[in-house]
Amino acid sequence: MKKKALILLTAMLAIASMPALAQNDMSSEKLRALGKKVVLDRKKGNCVACHVIEDLEAPGTFGPPLIAMSVRYPDKAKLRAQIWDATKRNILTSMPPFGKHMILTEEEIDWVTEYIHSL
Q: What is the pLDDT of residues 17-67, one digit of tens each?
A: 445 444 556 788 999 999 999 999 999 989 999 999 988 776 788 899 999
Could you tell me the pTM of the whole model? Answer: 0.75
CATH of the domain at 54: 1.10.760.10
Q: What is the pLDDT at residue 9?
A: 47
113 inside domain: yes
pLDDT score of 29: 92
> How many structural domains compose the chain?
1
Is the residue at 13 inside a domain?
no
**Residue 70 — pLDDT band, cuts 50, 70, 90?**
very high
Please count the other Cβ atoms lying within 10 Å of the Cβ belonging to residue 36: 21
The 10 Å Cβ neighbour count of residue 64 is 11
**Cα 53 from chain centre:** 16
Q: Are 105 and 98 in contact (CB under 8 A)?
A: no
Answer yes or no: is 16 within a domain.
no
Phi and psi at residue 50, in whole multiples of 5°? -120, -25
For residues 116 and 35, the answer to whether their CB atoms sit within 8 Å is: yes
- Residue 105 has a pLDDT of 97
